[in-house]
C-alpha cells in the first residue's frame, strides 16, 4: 500500500535511524578492525560487543521489513524523475537484501555459542567447518558490498540535497 504523503511515517523513521546507527557503527568499527592495527584486547571487546549488538538488531530489522511491506513508502518526491525513483527503489531493495544477508551469514558463521550481552545464549548453529568458512567468507564480502552501497546511498542523498531536492526531510 502506498501512502499519499511525502513523509515516511514515524515508525519507519525511528526504524531507519536506529538501523542506520547500528549498521554504520558495525561497518566502520568492523572494517577498522579488519584493516588497521589495534590492541588485541580492545579488538576482542569491540567484536564481542558488535556480535551482541547486531544479534539484538535482528528482530528490529525483521520488524522494519514487515513494516515496509505492510505500509509501503510515501509517494515519490515531486522533483524526482521516473528514472531516479526507479534507481532509488532498486538501491533501497538491494540495501534490504544485503543487510539480511549480512545478518544471516553473521549468525551462521559463528564457530561457538553467542552470548548476547550476558542475557541469553544462542547456540552455535552449524558444526561443519566448511559451512562455517563459507558463511564467514560470505559475511566479509557482503559487509564490504553493504558499506559501498551505504556510501552510494549517502552520496545520492547529498547530490539531491545540493540540487535543492529536499529528500532528507522525508525521513526527519
By CB under 6 A, name the binding residues for ligand HEM: 16, 19-20, 22-24, 26-27, 30-31, 34, 47, 51, 54-55, 57, 68, 73, 77, 88, 92, 95-96, 99, 102-103, 106-107, 110, 114, 136, 139-140, 143-144, 150, 153-154, 157, 167-168, 170-171
Nearest CA among 83, 80, 106 for reference residue 23:
106
CB-based contact 44:16 (threshold 8 Å): no
Give the span between the Cα atoms of 170 and 20, in whole angstroms. 15
Give the span between the Cα atoms of 114 and 118, in whole angstroms. 9
Cβ distance to ligand HEM smaller for residue 134 or 136? 136
Q: What's the min distance (Å) between Cβ of 31 and ligand HEM?
A: 5
Who's near 111: CB < 8 A, 6+ residues apart? 124, 132
Q: What's the min distance (Å) between Cβ of 72 and ligand HEM?
A: 8
Nearest CA among 66, 27, 69, 64 for reference residue 46:
27
All 3 cell numbers of residue 143? 559487509
Residue 80 DSSP code: S
Give the span between the Cα atoms of 135 and 164, in whole angstroms. 43
Cβ distance to ligand HEM smaller for residue 148 or 154? 154
Q: What's the min distance (Å) between Cβ of 20 and ligand HEM?
A: 4
Cβ distance to ligand HEM smaller for residue 95 or 126? 95
Cβ distance to ligand HEM smaller for residue 126 or 136? 136
Cβ distance to ligand HEM smaller for residue 29 or 128? 29
Q: What's the min distance (Å) between Cβ of 101 and ligand HEM?
A: 10
Q: What's the min distance (Å) between Cβ of 61 and ligand HEM?
A: 8
Amino acid at each position: 500500500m502506498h501512502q499519499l504523503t511525502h513523509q515516511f511515517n514515524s515508525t519507519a523513521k525511528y526504524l531507519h535511524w536506529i538501523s542506520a546507527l547500528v549498521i554504520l557503527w558495525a561497518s566502520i568499527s568492523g572494517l577498522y578492525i579488519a584493516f588497521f592495527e589495534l590492541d588485541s584486547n580492545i579488538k576482542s571487546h569491540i567484536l564481542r560487543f558488535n556480535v551482541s549488538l547486531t544479534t539484538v538488531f535482528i528482530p528490529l530489522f525483521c520488524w522494519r521489513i514487515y513494516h515496509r511491506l505492510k505500509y509501503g513508502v510515501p509517494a515519490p518526491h515531486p522533483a524526482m524523475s521516473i528514472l531516479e525513483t526507479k534507481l532509488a527503489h532498486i538501491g533501497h531493495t538491494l540495501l534490504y537484501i544485503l543487510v539480511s544477508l549480512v545478518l544471516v551469514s553473521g549468525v551462521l558463521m559463528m564457530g561457538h555459542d553467542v552470548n548476547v550481552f550476558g542475557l541469553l545464549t544462542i547456540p552455535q548453529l552449524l558444526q561443519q567447518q566448511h559451512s562455517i568458512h563459507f558463511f564467514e567468507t560470505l559475511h566479509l564480502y557482503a559487509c564490504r558490498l553493504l558499506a559501498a552501497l551505504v556510501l552510494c546511498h549517502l552520496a545520492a542523498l547529498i547530490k539531491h540535497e545540493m540540487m535543492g531536492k529536499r529528500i532528507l526531510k522525508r525521513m526527519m
